[in-house]
Amino acid sequence: MIESIALSIKQKALELGYEKCGIIPIPMLDGYQEKLEERVKNVPDSGVFYKGQQRLAHVQEEFPWAKSVIILTVPYSKYHVPENVSGHIGKSYLFDVRIDENTTEYQQSRQLELYLQSLGLKVEINRKFGVVGMRWAALQAGLGIIRRNNFFYTESGSWVHLEAFLIDMELELKSNTTLPPCPKNCDRCIKACPTASLCNAYTMNPLRCISFLTTFGGRNLPQEPMAENFGEWIYGCDVCQDVCPMNHKKWAAQEAFPGLTELAPSLTAEALLNMGEDFYRDKVQPKFFYLTADELWKWKVNALNYIKNHYQEQYRQLVLDALESPYPKVREMAESICVLYSIDKN
Ligand code: SF4
Ligand code: SF4
């Protein structure tokens, strides 16, 4: 009976369009706390960052009724990356299906939630930030492997979102992955990391990561020495995934992501610097929710940092205009560009 419920859930998930589905009892998540401690031990600076993850290591304190976690993979490599944002905005953010109701992936998630409820199960999901350590749960369920760049890989490469539901029934349904490990001497991801955030296999300092510093971290980029290593990234970074041979030919790019073709021209450095608050709040912030409705200034600083790293004469007026910005950090970043490139302000 229990076994057939687990199989029915998996079958439903696959029918809805998920790539993989596993179910594990909550005690199987136990090793997550140890992993967090190991990370902090290896990179003591990261303690502040992982403090925020502690809630994921103590699921039962918040949800004492939970018995199992259903963990699912959702590939996003079928989507086309518009030229004007390619290499500037991280793909997981461009194709973030977690809360975008216009996507089939969001709808499949809602349908699965309703299906679980129709089975009489109590269900909990946190679509934005997760209810468990996602990669750890997916690993325990045998859905794939974690590679040296810390990303979770399935047969679709690392281009997969993970999604988890807590349920109040003890079930178990695991898979066996046949994915090969990282090649013995491969360290491409570590060598390619622009800020040395990924400093060793399975070891990173999240506080140095461009994805952190251009989104929910990095509130003082004008004074951040690593900002000159951000290259062309404005929001997020895919370098350690893009260089990985295990991602070779994994990006299919057949479909347009809902609304992205229309939005992409507004996400260039130039467009961001000219963007008004209303447009930002309506069109940009709901999609890129790691920055709040009051943080358009942060996007503008990120855009100026891109310009600082790739200054050309065509940006001169944008930089001069930014000197008059109402946002202090934007003015400070513009000032630093003027100093670096000896731009005449008169
Ligand atoms: S996302 Fe970019 S900055 Fe962060 S670890 Fe990977 S390569 Fe380094
Ligand atoms: S680049 Fe090499 S070492 Fe890094 S995750 Fe990919 S296969 Fe593993």
Q: What is d(CA 329, CA 333) in angstroms, rounded to the nearest whole number? A: 6
pLDDT beyond 80 at 84: yes
Q: What is d(CA 58, CA 126) in angstroms, rounded to the nearest whole number? A: 15
Which numbered ligand comes closest to the C-alpha of 239?
1
Asked if the structure places residue 181 within a domain, the reply is: no
Asked if the structure places residue 51 within a domain, the reply is: yes
**pLDDT by residue (tens digit) across 220-270?**
999 999 999 999 999 999 999 999 999 999 998 889 999 999 999 999 999
Q: Which of 43-52, 151-160, 187-196, 332-341 has the lowest mean pLDDT?
A: 43-52
Beta strands in the chain (DSSP E): 20-25, 68-75, 123-124, 145-146, 152-153, 160-167, 198-200, 203-204
Residue 281 sits in the same domain as residue 158: no
Name residue, tokens 């996602």: 134
242-to-47, 86, 151, 216 alpha-carbon distances in Å: 27, 12, 12, 22
Give the pLDDT band of residue 47 (cuts 50, 70, 90): confident
Q: Using an 8 Å Cβ cutoff, are 14 and 8 in contact?
A: no
Residue 28 sits in the same domain as residue 139: yes
The residue whose C-alpha atom lies closest to atom 4 belonging to ligand 2 is: 189
Q: What is d(CA 89, CA 235) in angstroms, rounded to the nearest whole number? A: 5
Domains in the chain: how many in total? 2
Instruction: Give 275 Cα–ligand 2 centroid separation in angstroms.
Output: 38
pLDDT > 90 in the chain, percent: 88
Asked if the structure places residue 205 within a domain, the reply is: no
Is residue 139 in contact with ligand 1, taking CB distance under 6 Å? no
The residue whose C-alpha atom lies closest to atom 6 belonging to ligand 2 is: 244
User: For the chain, what is the radius of gyration of the CA atoms?
Assistant: 21
pLDDT at res. 58: 87
Is residue 226 in contact with ligand 2, taking CB distance under 6 Å? no
**pLDDT by residue (tens digit) across 141-171?**
999 999 999 999 999 999 999 999 999 999 9
Is residue 210 in contact with ligand 1, taking CB distance under 6 Å? yes
Give the end of a domain, one of 129, 152, 167: 167
**pLDDT by residue (tens digit) across 110-151?**
999 999 999 999 999 999 999 999 999 999 999 999 999 999
Q: What is d(CA 80, CA 95) in angstroms, rounded to the nearest whole number? A: 9
**Range of 282's domain?**
268-346
C-beta atoms surrounding 234 within 10 Å: 24
Asked if the structure places residue 285 within a domain, the reply is: yes
Is residue 161 in contact with ligand 2, taking CB distance under 6 Å? no
Helix (H, G, I), strand (E, B) or coil at 161: strand
Asked if the structure places residue 110 within a domain, the reply is: yes
Instruction: Give 244 Cα–ligand 1 centroid separation in angstroms.
Output: 12
The residue whose C-alpha atom lies closest to atom 6 belonging to ligand 1 is: 240
Instruction: Give 149 Cα–ligand 1 centroid separation in angstroms.
Output: 8
**Substitution candidate for ligand 2 out of 145, 151, 179, 182 with most atoms within 8 A of CB:** 182
Helix (H, G, I), strand (E, B) or coil at 13: helix
Asked if the structure places residue 251 within a domain, the reply is: no
**pLDDT by residue (tens digit) across 307-326?**
999 999 999 999 999 999 99
Residue 143 sits in the same domain as residue 272: no
**Substitution candidate for ligand 2 out of 154, 185, 189 with most atoms within 8 A of CB:** 189
Is residue 246 in contact with ligand 2, taking CB distance under 6 Å? yes
Give the end of a domain, one of 139, 167, 195: 167
pLDDT at res. 341: 97
pLDDT at res. 345: 83
Name residue, tokens 């997969």: 160
Between strands 68-75 and 160-167, the pairing is: antiparallel
Give the end of a domain, one of 126, 145, 167: 167
List the structure tokens of 197: 């955030």
Asked if the structure places residue 189 within a domain, the reply is: no
Instruction: Give 240 Cα–ligand 1 centroid separation in angstroms.
Output: 6
Q: Using an 8 Å Cβ cutoff, are 147 and 182 in contact?
A: yes
What are the residues whose beta carbons fall under 8 Å from the beta carbon of 200, sequence distance 6 or more? 42, 190
Instruction: Give 332 Cα–ligand 1 centroid separation in angstroms.
Output: 26
User: What mean pLDDT is reported for the chain?
Assistant: 95
Residue 161 sits in the same domain as residue 306: no
pLDDT at res. 64: 96
Asked if the structure places residue 122 within a domain, the reply is: yes
209 exposed, middle or buried (CB, 10 Å; 0-12, 13-18, 19+)?
Answer: buried
Residue 32 sits in the same domain as residue 151: yes
Closest CA to 287 of 259, 306, 265, 261: 259
pLDDT at res. 278: 98
Residue 10 sits in the same domain as residue 119: yes
Residue 11 sits in the same domain as residue 122: yes
Residue 9 sits in the same domain as residue 119: yes
